[in-house]
Every structure is written in C-alpha cells, then in structure tokens.
C-alpha cells in the first residue's frame, strides 16, 4: 500500500520545538557549557573539563564539603517532613466528614494553606515565630521555653519543619481523602459482615486502596521538599550558621553570591540528577510493591 508522504506535518511540531528549545534545551545546554568552564569575569572563559564535578564529589574540598553537608540536610529534611506529613495526612483524611455541608467547609479550610504563595508562608512564620512580636515565639518564651529560631539550630529546624507541615499536610490529606472516597460502600459493609475491627478495616481496605494516591503524595512532597528554597530562605536565611542551608540555598549562594558559574552549574546538574534518580527509585519500588496486574487465568 502506498502511503502519501507529507513532510509538511513537521511544521506542526515546529512551534513546540522552538518553545522547548528556548525554554529548556538551550538553558540546560548553557548550564552544561558553564559546568565545564571557569571564568574570572570580563566574559572570559577557560576550559576546565570535569574539574568542577571532581571537586564537587570530593568531600575533602571546600565545594564538596558544602555540597554534601547541604545534601544530607536536605535529605534529612525531606525524610522528616514525609514521616510527619504522610501519617498526619492519612489521619486527617480519615477523620474528615463523608457527607453534608461539612465536607465543603473542610475542603475549603484545608485548601487555604495551599493557596498561599511560598514567600508569604515564609513571612507569616518568620513573624509568627519572633520572640518579641510573634504569637508563637512570644507565647513559647512566656511559658518558659527558650525559643529563638535565629540563634538556636534546633529551633530553626523545628520552625522550618512546622512551617512545611502546616503548608503541605493538607495536600496529602486531600489526596488521601480522594482515595478514601473512591472506595465503594460495599467494602465497608463486607468488612462489617466479616466482623473486621476498625484497625482491620484500615489495614485491609483503606490503606491498600489509598496506595496509589499515597505514591503520588510521597513523590510530590519529596520533590517539592528536596527543592525547597523560598520558605527557609525567608525565615532563617539558611542559618543560624549553615544549619538550615539546603542545596538550593547553597546553589544560589555560589551562583549569585560568589558568581562561581562553573561550580554552580556543576552543582545544579548533579542536583537535578539526584531528583530524577530518587523519583525513579520511589516510583519503581512503590509500583512493584503493590502491583495490581490482573493475571488472566481460568479460575473456573
């Protein structure tokens, strides 16, 4: 059979090519280009090969030390907020009403933190936590807890984590709620008939049925918390010292503070790669763990 060959169709993808090239491919290639070179200003560049990458991955160098320190901080931060937000989100979703006007009220209230811009969230918590004028800081100090996120590392961490939990738990809760709502009533009725306890209903029905939305929630929260910048930058500025300096804050310091384009480019490429790998691992592990592939077999 003869096919009509019409190369004009390429013109239809051309706009996409152009947009993607200008918005993603060219900037990425520029970063790749920078990561191989060094500059001392005056727009003069010198070839450095994989030098920056070697330095970055060598913990004994200055750059490597800063990179690994912020990487561990970032991973610890993501682990802590996932460990809090996922169980808390599930509990909130389970306690939300199933019907009536309360549903709409709950959904709106839950969605509020999600609608607030990142830097505003940061500002809210920055003021909220101040010992002199902030409600939280003032109350904590007046009941005898010595709380100051500017000078105390633990307090700074606690504030940043509390802020993230406040900002994002509702996302996990809303996703879980959607998962719970999709469970047919028959499952609960069958569990009643089977004499299942509340805990058995949770482990045998609700948790397995939420598995997919939980996967999405964990992925979204991991990626977002691994890339976190604005809120801790506004609240703590990465301090005290470097205690809340996450990778993105470090990256901005190197790129814009010190104007070390080569180092910053190498760091951002590695950063990007880590996000990709971790997401791929998460996805593969979680989809295989509860694989839901029906196997067509004569069960008769």
Partner 1 sequence: MARIDLVDLAHSYGGNDADPESFALKPISMTWRQGGAYALLGPSGCGKTTLLNLISGIVTPSRGKILFDGTDITPLSTQKRNIAQVFQFPVIYDTMTVGQNLAFPLKNRGVPKAEIEARVAEIARLLDLTPYLKRKATRLTADAKQKISLGRGLVRSDVAAVLFDEPLTVIDPELKWELRSKLKALHRALDLTMIYVTHDQTEALTFADTVVVMHDGRVVQSGTPAELFDKPAHTFVGYFIGSPGMNIVPAQVRGREARIDGHLIALTRGYDTLPQGATIEIGVRPEFVELTAPAPGLLTAQIERIDDLGRIRFARVKIGEVKFAARVPPGFSVGGSEAGLVFDPTRVHVYADSRLVEGTA
Contacting positions for partner 1 (CB under 8 A) = 184, 186-187, 189-190, 192-197, 200, 203-205, 207-209, 290, 292-297, 299-300
Q: Using CA atoms, how far apart are residues 45 and 50, in angstroms rounded to an integer?
A: 15
Q: Using CA atoms, how far apart are residues 167 and 173, in angstroms rounded to an integer?
A: 12
31: how many CB neighbours lie within 10 A of its CB? 16
- Toward partner 1, which CB reaches closer, 84 or 205? 205
CA dihedral angle for residue 202, residue 208, residue 209, residue 215, rounded to 10 degrees: 120
Question: Least separation, in Å, of the C-beta of 211 and partner 1?
Answer: 8
Contacts of 221 (CB under 8 A, 6+ apart): 78, 81, 82, 85, 86, 168, 171, 172
Q: Using CA atoms, how far apart are residues 251 and 261, in angstroms rounded to an integer?
A: 10
- Toward partner 1, which CB reaches closer, 130 or 209? 209
- Toward partner 1, which CB reaches closer, 176 or 266? 176
Question: Least separation, in Å, of the C-beta of 230 and partner 1?
Answer: 39
Q: Using CA atoms, how far apart are residues 192 and 177, in angstroms rounded to an integer?
A: 21
Question: Least separation, in Å, of the C-beta of 295 and partner 1?
Answer: 5
Rg (CA), the chain: 25
Q: Using CA atoms, how far apart are residues 150 and 127, in angstroms rounded to an integer?
A: 12
Question: Least separation, in Å, of the C-beta of 83 and partner 1?
Answer: 22
- Toward partner 1, which CB reaches closer, 54 or 209? 209
- Toward partner 1, which CB reaches closer, 140 or 207? 207
- Toward partner 1, which CB reaches closer, 189 or 258? 189
Question: Least separation, in Å, of the C-beta of 202 and partner 1?
Answer: 11
Question: Least separation, in Å, of the C-beta of 193 and partner 1?
Answer: 5
150: how many CB neighbours lie within 10 A of its CB? 17
Segments in 36-61 forming alpha helices (H): 51-56
Question: Least separation, in Å, of the C-beta of 182 and partner 1?
Answer: 13
Which of left, alpha, beta for 200 (phi over 0: left; psi -120 to 50: alpha)? Answer: alpha
> Is residue 170 exposed (0-12), middle (13-18) or buried (19+ Cβ within 10 Å)?
buried
Note the residue count of the chain: 300
- Toward partner 1, which CB reaches closer, 62 or 194? 194
Question: Least separation, in Å, of the C-beta of 221 and partner 1?
Answer: 23
- Toward partner 1, which CB reaches closer, 183 or 216? 183
């Amino acid at each position: 059979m003869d096919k009509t060959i019409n190369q004009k169709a390429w013109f239809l993808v051309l706009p996409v090519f152009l947009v993607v090239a200008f918005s993603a491919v060219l900037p990425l290639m520029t970063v790749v280009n920078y990561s191989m070179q060094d500059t001392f200003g005056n727009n003069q560049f010198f070839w450095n090969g994989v030098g920056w990458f070697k330095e970055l991955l060598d913990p004994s160098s200055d750059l490597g030390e800063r990179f690994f320190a912020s990487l561990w901080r970032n991973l610890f931060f993501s682990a802590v907020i996932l460990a809090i937000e996922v169980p808390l989100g599930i509990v909130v979703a389970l306690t939300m009403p199933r019907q009536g006007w309360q549903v709409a009220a709950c959904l709106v209230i839950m969605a509020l933190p999600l609608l607030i811009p990142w830097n505003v969230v940061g500002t809210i918590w920055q003021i909220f936590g101040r010992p002199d004028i902030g409600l939280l800081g003032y109350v904590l100090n007046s009941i005898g807890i010595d709380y100051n996120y500017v000078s105390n590392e633990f307090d700074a961490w606690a504030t940043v984590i509390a802020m993230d939990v406040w900002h994002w738990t509702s996302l996990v809760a809303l996703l879980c709620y959607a998962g719970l709502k999709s469970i047919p009533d028959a499952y609960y009725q069958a569990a009643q008939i089977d004499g299942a306890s509340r805990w058995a209903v949770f482990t045998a029905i609700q948790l397995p049925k939420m598995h997919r939305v939980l996967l999405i929630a964990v992925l979204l929260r991991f990626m977002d918390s691994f890339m976190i910048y604005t809120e801790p930058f506004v609240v703590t500025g990465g301090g005290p010292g470097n205690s809340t300096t996450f990778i993105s804050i470090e990256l901005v310091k190197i790129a814009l503070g010190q104007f070390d384009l080569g180092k910053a480019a190498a760091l951002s490429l590695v950063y990007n790669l880590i996000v990709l790998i971790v997401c791929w691992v998460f996805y593969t592990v979680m989809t295989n763990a509860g694989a839901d592939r029906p196997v067509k077999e004569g069960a008769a």
